Amino acid sequence: MIGLVIVSHSAKLAEGVRELAAQMAGDEVGISQAGGLPDDAQALGTDAFKILSAIEEVWCEDGVLLLMDVGSSVMSAEIALEMLPEQQRRRCKLSNAPLVEGAIVAALHASLGEPLQTVNAVAEAALSTPKLANTG
């Protein structure tokens, strides 16, 4: 069963998204979060080392899917992956999914034991699922 990492500029947002996702997944799926800067929980930003620790926290052989919010969270996540040993790096994936919808969908599918690529595909499909019934 894959693990999930929630990356956000805000520690509060990361924790909130983790909470929403965990509600879908029960206790079985490892979901960790890396939000805000080290030292100062109030400061907004992302930190590659925090992301690295979050990956290690939920690491499993099936892989880890990372879901990011805006802007530099992607760059920080890329740096975190580059710091991993090759063996682990190729089992980690950065998702293009929207953070909230993606995390919820990914948690649900991860809890069903689906593989990394499949979980990511359904999470990314959340990008094209309209929120309002009469649109799209």
Partner 1 sequence: MGQEITTSQLRKWLLSYAARIIENEAHLTELDTAIGDADHGVNMRRGMGKLQERLKEEKQSDNVSSFLRSVAMTLISGIGGAAGPLYGTFFLRAATSPTNGSSIDLVQLTQMFRYGLDGLQQRGKAQADDKTMIDTIQPAVEAMEAALAAHQSPAVILAAARQAAHLGMKHTIEIEARKGRASYLGPHSIGHQDPGATSAYFLFETAAEVFTKTGAD
Q: Which residues bind partner 1 (CB under 8 A)?
A: 37-38, 43-49, 71-72, 75-76, 78-79
The nearest distance, CB 47 to partner 1, in angstroms, is 5
Q: Residue with structure tokens 């965990």?
A: 22
Cβ(88)–Cβ(59) under 8 Å? yes
Task: Indicate the angle between helix axes 73-83 and 48-58, nearest 10 degrees.
Answer: 60
31-40 core/surface letters (b: 16 or more CB in 10 A; e: else): bbbbbbeeee
Closer to partner 1 by Cβ: residue 80 or 106: 80
Cβ(32)–Cβ(5) under 8 Å? yes
The nearest distance, CB 38 to partner 1, in angstroms, is 6
Closer to partner 1 by Cβ: residue 46 or 111: 46
The nearest distance, CB 111 to partner 1, in angstroms, is 32
What is the rounded radius of gyration, in angstroms, for the C-alpha atoms of the chain? Answer: 14
The catalytic residue among 9, 18, 93, 109 is: 9
Any catalytic annotation for residue 109?
A: no
Catalytic residue numbers?
Answer: 9
